[in-house]
Structure 1
Amino acid sequence: MSSPAAQTARRYILTASVAAITATGAWYGAGLKTRQEFAQEAATIQQATPEEKIEQLEAVKAKYLARRAEMQDKIDRLQIEAKSAPSPR
């Protein structure tokens, strides 16, 4: 029979091994999914008609313009706060 210390060590080693295998599998699976999604998106873009491509580009442009407006609002608010804050002496 194994000693209690050996059984404890074996239990820790098995637990760590299972955790490592699970983490590696999850990481590899996520990478596969990402590559598949990228390939599918690339195929969709290649098969799109010019009108669909224009619609996609306009949607991306609208998203970027909205983000730009949000950022500009934040910049304006920060500039107002900086002007109204008392200067250190």
Structure 2
Amino acid sequence: MAQQQKIRRFIMTGSIAAITATGAWYGAELKTRQEFKQEKQKALEATPEEKIAQLEIARERLVSKRKEMERKIAAVTARRIAKEQKNREGS
């Protein structure tokens, strides 16, 4: 009898945990969909000035990312050149 209660308690605990996790996941998905719809609607209702401002902000972000990538590429290139020169001098 005690063994059956243990098994029942284990099954109930697992079921409740599964239901809770599924509910949280589903709720988060619903919230994400709702936020996406709101953003889409906001973009459709935006004035041309607001759209231009949003595009300028996006452009600034992209330009800063490009500069960062160019800086990293230059650093890697400089290290490679220095390594090649070191190898030549060592030969």
Per the normalisation by structure 2, the TM-score is 0.84
Instruction: Note the residue ranges of structure 1 that are not aligned, 5 or more in a row.
Output: none
CA distance in 2, matches of 1:17, 1:71: 49
Matched letter for residue 38 of structure 1: F
User: Displacement of 1:4 after TM fit?
Assistant: 2.0
User: Displacement of 1:15 after TM fit?
Assistant: 1.2
**Residues 10-49 of structure 1 deviation map (CA, whole Å, 9 limit, x = unaligned):** 1111111111111111111111111111111011111111
Alignment identity in percent? Answer: 49
Matched letter for residue 33 of structure 1: K
Runs (4 or more) in structure 1 with deviation over 6 Å come to none
Alignment of 1:33-48 (within 5 A): 33-48=31-46
Instruction: Note the residue ranges of structure 2 that are not aligned, 5 or more in a row.
Output: none
